[in-house]
Chains A and B, each alone.
Chain A
Amino acid sequence: MQETEQLVDEKIAELVQNGNVDVFGVLVERYESKLSRYINKFLFYGDEAEDLLQDIFIKTYINIKSFDTKQKFSPWIYRIAHNELINAIKKRKSNKSINFFDFDMDVLLPHPIANETADGEMERKEIRELLDKGLREIDLKYKEPLVLYYFEDMSYAEIADVLKIPTSTVGVRIKRGREALRKVVK
């Protein structure tokens, strides 16, 4: 087990795919805190969050043979987490009306100003603090890229893989999300 702990996620996933069930526990250990934090950012706490977390890991195990070990594991498991989260949010809203035609123009058109910029540590820290304060107030479509970028340290391309949206849209949403956050907190 100690040897497997040295292995990268993708290699562990390959071992699980080949029938080594026990090493799946290493992946659970590695992602438990990260995914818990991710879920909490969407206002799921306590038993609800625990059930959601368990469902994410169970879905990960069930579908692990669809994972391409040449790709990065992290965006793949976050994609599963994202889907579970969306389902949970929909369930929460089941008594309210859901607009099925809620089409987002951000993914339709190209965005020229969406390059990834290297934020300084100070700025990242500031946004994280703002996010903690204004989390309830901002739209989910901005909240999710901001959480993945500032808390989970993912690149725009990785976030695009998690959310299945254009890379340029990720940039636009992070930029708009930051602006919305600053307005809300001030």
Chain B
Amino acid sequence: MEEKKEQLNKEILSQIKEGKVEMKSRWFFVLRTLLGILGVFLLSLCLIFLVSFILFGLRKSGVALAPGFGPQGFILFAMSLPWMLILITAAFLAVLEILIRKYSFVYKKPILYSLIGVFVATTLITLLLPSFSLHNSIFRAYQPEVGDREADMPPIGRFYRGFGMPHPSDLLRGVVVDFSTGTLVIANENGVTSSVILNDFTKIFPGTDMGIGDELLIFGPRSTSGIIRAFGIREIRD
């Protein structure tokens, strides 16, 4: 037994002394740690961007307000969530979890805790940073002119106006251009008008003015003739 031990010792030391085995330098490990930290930082930035963009999209499109109009509103909300972006965010979260899991303060706690920690931190940072005004500026910078096609926009514009933004068919955002009993005429941002019918089941958010020039969110399905039967109406005041 002792002989074996000695032999192993000799063999290892001879491999080291002959230069067959070399110690990695401290810089290698420092660089690896720095790259790891950089990776965590960049992934965190991506996560903050994605979470804030999802929240911005929900608010900008009006989808965030849909659950306030009962079960129909809640279905509209669930159907309009940007599921692809949510999946991408979840994938980024998983990669971030893998990257931070090598640190003892992370792996000594259950994964659920670190996932919740990362999610809460990301959401808090998103809410504390002026990310909404940043997204709004980009959104406005890529406002298409009348007649412009989405395909002609640069990728960032297509992302902000197209792919990333919820476009629920049962939600219209626009300005009142005409009003008569039980019917509204709403013009969207491209100037296209739609008729909106109100009935006894239409829930109007308290404090909503429906005068000419007021900007409204109309929740309701559109019939084949293009008329919208509203189940909810809310004024936009931002």
Which A residues are within 8 Å of any B CB, using their own CB?
16-17, 21-22, 24-25, 28-29, 32-33, 50, 53-54, 57-58, 61-66, 107-111, 157, 160-161, 164-169
Partner of A168, one of B9, B15, B26, B110: B110
Cross-chain contact A164 with B29 (CB below 8 angstroms) = no
Number of A-B contacts (CB under 8 A): 80
Give the nearest-CB partner of B102 in chain A.
A164
Cross-chain contact B101 with A65 (CB below 8 angstroms) = no
Give the nearest-CB partner of A63 in chain B.
B24
Cross-chain contact B110 with A29 (CB below 8 angstroms) = no
Complex alpha-carbon distance, A157 and B107, angstroms: 11
Partner of B13, one of A17, A22, A110, A165: A22
Give the nearest-CB partner of B32 in chain A.
A66
Cross-chain contact A109 with B24 (CB below 8 angstroms) = no
Q: Using Cβ atoms and an 8 Å threshold, which residues of chain A touch B17?
A: 21
Given the contacts A24-B13, A58-B12, A29 and B107 also touching, CB distance less than 8 Å: no
Cross-chain contact A28 with B12 (CB below 8 angstroms) = yes
Given the contacts A109-B112, A164-B101, A24 and B107 also touching, CB distance less than 8 Å: no
Cβ of A1 to closest chain B Cβ, rounded Å: 12
Give the nearest-CB partner of B6 in chain A.
A29
- Is B104 located at the chain interface by the 8 A CB criterion? yes
Complex alpha-carbon distance, A32 and B6, angstroms: 10
Cross-chain contact A160 with B107 (CB below 8 angstroms) = yes
Number of interface residues of B (CB under 8 A): 28
Q: Using Cβ atoms and an 8 Å threshold, which residues of chain A touch B16?
A: 21, 24, 61
Give the nearest-CB partner of B111 in chain A.
A108
Cβ of A172 to closest chain B Cβ, rounded Å: 11
Cross-chain contact A25 with B13 (CB below 8 angstroms) = yes
B19-52 CB mask vs A (1 if < 8 Å, else 0) is: 0011111101100000000000000000000000
Which B residues are within 8 Å of any A CB, using their own CB?
4-5, 8-9, 11-13, 15-17, 21-26, 28-29, 101-102, 104, 107-113
Give the nearest-CB partner of B11 in chain A.
A54
Q: Using Cβ atoms and an 8 Å threshold, which residues of chain A touch B24?
A: 62-63, 65-66
Cross-chain contact B108 with A66 (CB below 8 angstroms) = no
Cross-chain contact A28 with B9 (CB below 8 angstroms) = yes
Q: Using Cβ atoms and an 8 Å threshold, which residues of chain B touch A32?
A: 5, 8-9
Give the nearest-CB partner of B25 in chain A.
A65
Give the nearest-CB partner of A50 in chain B.
B8
11 further interface pairs, Cβ-Cβ under 8 Å (given A110-B112, A165-B107): A16-B23, A21-B17, A25-B9, A32-B8, A53-B8, A54-B11, A54-B12, A62-B21, A62-B23, A65-B23, A164-B102
Complex alpha-carbon distance, A21 and B17, angstroms: 8
Q: Using Cβ atoms and an 8 Å threshold, which residues of chain B touch A161?
A: 104
Cross-chain contact A61 with B23 (CB below 8 angstroms) = yes
Q: Which of B22, B110, B112 has the most CB of A within 10 A?
A: B110
Q: Which of B23, B25, B102 has the most CB of A within 10 A?
A: B23
Cross-chain contact B12 with A57 (CB below 8 angstroms) = yes
Q: Which of B16, B29, B112 has the most CB of A within 10 A?
A: B16
A-B contact pairs, 30 of them (CB 8 A): A16-B23, A21-B17, A24-B12, A24-B16, A25-B9, A25-B12, A28-B12, A28-B13, A33-B5, A54-B8, A54-B11, A57-B12, A61-B16, A61-B21, A62-B22, A63-B29, A64-B23, A65-B23, A65-B25, A65-B28, A107-B110, A108-B110, A109-B110, A110-B109, A110-B113, A160-B107, A164-B102, A165-B107, A166-B108, A169-B110
Cross-chain contact B109 with A166 (CB below 8 angstroms) = yes
Give the nearest-CB partner of B27 in chain A.
A65
